[in-house]
Amino acid sequence: MAEEVKLLGMWASLFSRRIDMALRIKGVPYEYLEQDLTNKSPLLLQMNPVHKKVPVLVHNGKSIAESLVILEYIDQTWSHNPILPQDPYERAMARFWARFIDEKIVPTGIEIAIEKDEEAREAAIEKARELMKYLEKELKGKDFFGGKTLGLVDIAAILIPFWLMRFDAIVGIGVDILAEDKFPEIHRWVKRLSETDVVKECIPPKDEHVAYLKALVDRIKSAR
What b/e string do you get for 69-94 counting C-beta neighbours within 10 Å, with b at 16 or more? ebbbbbbeebeeebbbbeeeeebeeb
Interface region with ligand GSH, contact rule CB under 6 A, candidates 7-15, 116-124, 146-154, 214-222 = 7-15
| Interacting residues with ligand GSH between 125 and 164 (CB under 6 A) | none
Q: Which of 20, 66, 115, 138 binds ligand GSH (CB under 6 A)?
A: 66
Site track 73-102 with ligand GSH (rule: CB under 6 A), x = hit = ------------------------------
The residues pairing with 8 across neighbouring beta strands, listed in sequence order, are: 33, 56
Find, among 218, 115, 100, the residue nearest to 159 by Cα: 100
Task: Provide the total of helices (H) and of strands (E) in the chain, helices listed first.
Answer: 12, 4
Residue 9's SS3 state is strand
Q: Which of 67, 83, 97, 202 binds ligand GSH (CB under 6 A)?
A: 67
For position 209 contacting ligand GSH by CB under 6 A, the verdict is no
Q: Which residue's CB is nearer to ligand GSH, number 34 or number 176?
A: 34
- Number of residues that this document lists for the chain: 224
Rounded to 10 degrees, what is the CA torsion of 133, 136, 138, 142? -170
| Interacting residues with ligand GSH between 13 and 42 (CB under 6 A) | 13, 15, 37
**Residue 37 CB, nearest distance to ligand GSH (Å)?**
5
For position 53 contacting ligand GSH by CB under 6 A, the verdict is yes
Q: Within 13 Å of residue 37, how many CA atoms lie on the same side as its CB?
A: 16
Q: Which residue's CB is nearer to ligand GSH, number 97 or number 183?
A: 97
Find, among 192, 78, 178, 201, the residue nearest to 132 by Cα: 178
Q: Which of 21, 22, 54, 202 binds ligand GSH (CB under 6 A)?
A: 54
Position of minimal CB gap to ligand GSH: 53
Using CB under 6 A, list all residues that contact ligand GSH. 10, 13, 15, 37, 52-55, 66-68
